[in-house]
Chains A and B, each alone.
Chain A
Amino acid sequence: NAGVTQTPKFRVLKTGQSMTLLCAQDMNHEYMYWYRQDPGMGLRLIHYSVGEGTTAKGEVPDGYNVSRLKKQNFLLGLESAAPSQTSVYFCASSYASARGVTEAFFGQGTRLTVV
């Protein structure tokens, strides 16, 4: 019962480097999300996907790109990391039921530091 798995758990990047965060879910959920968590800001939505092959911008999309080539995976890319992207990143997934979209299930987070 893995649920939502994020890799890596920790990463330190230098300004200008690129990286990809991987999110994998084994619950066959249609919806997947990337959030960032910053002190005093709560969680803010970066990008989301309502199904395989679809992505959309959230509240704070600048500097990030995403891809959902497979239903179970949702990748978050940073093309040129900046110190402002130092944060904890959470992936989540949910599914549609007869009563609407269900609650979200979260991964354990990726702590990214950009120096």
Chain B
Amino acid sequence: GNSVTQMEGPVTLSEEAFLTINCTYTATGYPSLFWYVQYPEEGLQLLLKATKADDKGSNKGFEATYRKETTSFHLEKGSVQVSDSAVYFCALRGSQGNLIFGKGTKLSVKP
């Protein structure tokens, strides 16, 4: 079945460091892929998405490229800020329109 695997956290970085959060997926076909972010005590917000192979999603300095060869959708940001501290979820679109999530990666950015 469809599944998402993302790197376990927590991840702790200093401000302005480079961020990579790895995400790989198993799926039939080429489902849409998503990154969601959850700030403390809040719901999930869409960060970026890609709907087909080789698409690059980007938002707020974050980027992720849909790589069908490696079945990956790694999240990157060149220079993180304290305000980026949150939990990040990788997800893919299931056959019923639902999202299938990874377990989440907690990011803490220190000043």
Contact = CB atoms under 8 A, between A and B. Distances in A.
A50 interface: yes
A103 B92 CA distance: 10
B103 A103 contact: no
A108 interface: yes
A48 B43 contact: no
B97 A103 contact: no
Contacts of B67: none
A61 B87 CA distance: 25
A106 B104 contact: no
Contact of B98 (A40, A41, A45, A107): A45
Interface of B: 32, 34, 36, 42-46, 49, 51, 89, 93, 96-104
26 contacts: A4-B43, A33-B98, A33-B99, A40-B103, A42-B89, A42-B101, A42-B102, A43-B89, A43-B99, A45-B98, A45-B100, A48-B96, A50-B97, A56-B96, A58-B98, A90-B44, A94-B97, A100-B32, A101-B97, A103-B34, A103-B46, A105-B46, A106-B45, A107-B43, A108-B42, A108-B43
